[in-house]
Amino acid sequence: MDDTIAAVATAYGEGGIGIIRISGEKSLDILEEIFEFHGIEEIVNRRMTYGKIVDRDNGQTIDEVLAVYMKGPATYTAEDVVEINCHGSTVSLRKTLSLVLRKGARLAEPGEFTKRAFLNGRIDLSQAEAVIDVVKAKTDKSFDVALSQLEGGLSSYIRDIRQNLLDLLVDITVNIDYPDEDIEEITYDKLEINIKQIGDMIEKLLSTASSGRMIREGIRVAIAGKPNVGKSSLMNGLLRETRAIVTEIPGTTRDTIEEALSIRNIPVYLIDTAGIRETSDKVEKLGIEKSKEAFNNADFIIFIMDGSEEISSEDEEIIEYLKERKCLVLINKKDLEQKIDSVQIRNMLPNSQIIKTSLINGDGIEEIENAVEELVYGGEITQSESMMVNNVRHINLLTDSFNSLEDALQMAVNREALDFIEIDVKNAYELTGEIIGESVNDDIINEVFARFCLGK
Ligand code: GDP
């Protein structure tokens, strides 16, 4: 924590500007050592200053820059911070950074700037985690949810829950430790009500978990169907109506035909399983295996049939495989004479929703979007809600604390000794504390910040 750290804070590659960020005690000294003023200026707190970065050891000018010094603690890390806006050239950034390191800074680890903001008490742990989500958000909605968490929306709800738990703990402890004093005795009835109320608060938050995760991480939609039924038309239709997410998705390889787009603000990864078949090994069996794998990994399957043709053996093969799954069946080409009866399909795939479409005309796209939205929101949560729990770490901690309170409630119902109830309530208090970084150990903190990118 005593080191002064530095890193490139902007994305790698060419750009108008690229920023080197420095944080720690030596920030200003380092800047003064490498900065050459233009005219008669001095470095003033929070004033952007024009000048040059110069290596005084050899007199070489590295770049023409704008630099700013921000005195702590009202900064990102709560320490003294310097930001140097170089030209967005990898050469300039590399040379400037190495000069900064030579003058006494150490290269920052991924997430270290945000970690310092947390360790210095400027933000709590759930806010720090939200920084990653803000940076990585792919749709307006996931950005809103992340920003609300960064602003402390989730933290303040968790703090409310913890305050209630603390009040309850105090009541219980007082009754255990000073049973003879003249204090209001806690009744089991009151205990039941209080525990239940807090459990409800946690449950309410947990009810947003499934939607929250899908909005944050996106959903994987596999498209199934034999050749020529209209799979490409569907993909094109969805891409036309919605917006493609242009960024590459980390961790995905290009051997699956995958398109990333946004449907009603939900990040969606469309996987054409026929494409998997065609692009994979010539051995057909492997192709089929890969398609099955895509089905198994998908959150949602869209199965397309050609309504103008009789059901073929290939359709039957897919139906057989999809039988148990909940999927969306499109009977396409409804503009042509129909040879498929939807009642028959309904009998074969009883868990599915069936829509008749004419994808060539974009007819049916809206219903498909409705189905995706229904899957994500389950009809329960309105789109406008932006306080959601969407982080697996938070979801697990909330689930565990909810279970602890359930146990406490059961004991209160059975009129068991207060000491036992106290243990479970205390456990719930500690678990919820871990969400915001109170009562967490170093391992968890290191785990959280390891997920950051460099310069954050
Ligand atoms: P894919 O092989 O499953 O990707 O199918 P395509 O999307 O490439 O479509 C195959 C053929 O069917 C193309 O000639 C399309 O123009 C046609 N097609 C797709 N959807 C419809 C539709 O709704 N009605 C009609 N009449 N033709 C369609």
User: How confident is residue 382, by pLDDT bands cut at 50, 70 and 90?
Assistant: low
| The pairing of beta strand 219-224 with beta strand 266-272 | parallel
* d(CA 233, ligand 1 centre) in Å: 6
What type of residue sits at position 127? Answer: Q
Distance CA(188)–CA(400), nearest Å, equals 23
Q: Which of 327 and 248 is assigned the larger pLDDT?
A: 327
The pTM assigned to this predicted structure is 0.79
The model's pLDDT over 136-186, given as tens digits with 9 standing for 90+, comes to 888 888 899 999 999 999 999 999 999 999 889 888 887 777 666 666 667
Classify 2 as helix, strand or coil: coil
Classify 53 as helix, strand or coil: strand
* d(CA 230, ligand 1 centre) in Å: 4
Distance CA(255)–CA(236), nearest Å, equals 20
Distance CA(176)–CA(417), nearest Å, equals 9
* d(CA 341, ligand 1 centre) in Å: 19
**Residue 159: how many CB atoms within 10 A of its CB?**
17
Average pLDDT over residues 429-451: 80
360 pocket-lining for ligand 1 (C-beta < 6 Å): yes
* d(CA 261, ligand 1 centre) in Å: 21
Distance CA(244)–CA(261), nearest Å, equals 4
The model's pLDDT over 71-103, given as tens digits with 9 standing for 90+, comes to 999 999 999 999 999 999 999 999 999 999 999
Q: Which two tokens stand for residue 50?
A: 């024009």
The model's pLDDT over 303-326, given as tens digits with 9 standing for 90+, comes to 999 999 999 988 888 888 888 888
233 pocket-lining for ligand 1 (C-beta < 6 Å): yes
Q: State how far Cα 188 lies from the chain centre.
A: 41
| The pairing of beta strand 35-37 with beta strand 353-356 | unpaired
335 pocket-lining for ligand 1 (C-beta < 6 Å): yes
Distance CA(205)–CA(398), nearest Å, equals 8
Is 70 exceeded by the pLDDT of residue 403?
A: yes
* d(CA 309, ligand 1 centre) in Å: 12
225 CA closest ligand 1 atom index: 3
Listing DSSP states for 207-262 in one string gives TTHHHHHHHHH-EEEEEE--TTSSHHHHHHHHHHHSEE--SPPTT--TTSEEEEEE
> What's the pLDDT at 383?
53
230 pocket-lining for ligand 1 (C-beta < 6 Å): yes
Distance CA(358)–CA(354), nearest Å, equals 13
Is 70 exceeded by the pLDDT of residue 251?
A: no
**Residue 310: how many CB atoms within 10 A of its CB?**
8
> What's the pLDDT at 241?
59
Distance CA(115)–CA(3), nearest Å, equals 13
Q: For residues 436, 438, 440 and 442, what is the CA-based torsion angle, rounded to 10 degrees?
A: 90
186 pocket-lining for ligand 1 (C-beta < 6 Å): no
Q: For residues 2, 73, 152 and 169, what is the CA-based torsion angle, rounded to 10 degrees?
A: 70
> Minimal CA–CA distance to 24: which of 94, 106, 134, 102?
106
227 CA closest ligand 1 atom index: 2
Tell which one of 229, 233, 276, 303 to mutate to probe ligand 1, the residue whose CB is within 8 A of the most ligand atoms: 233
Residue whose CA is at the smallest distance from ligand 1 atom 25: 333
18 pocket-lining for ligand 1 (C-beta < 6 Å): no
Q: What percent of the chain shows pLDDT beyond 90?
A: 57
Sheet holding 15-23, edge to edge: 35-37, 49-55, 60-70, 81-88, 15-23, 5-8, 106-107
Is 90 exceeded by the pLDDT of residue 50?
A: yes
Which DSSP state fits 123? Answer: S
Distance CA(437)–CA(152), nearest Å, equals 13
> What's the pLDDT at 340?
92
Q: Is 437 left (phi over 0), alpha (psi -120 to 50) or beta?
A: left
Distance CA(376)–CA(300), nearest Å, equals 10
Rounded to a whole number of angstroms, the CA Rg of the chain reads 29
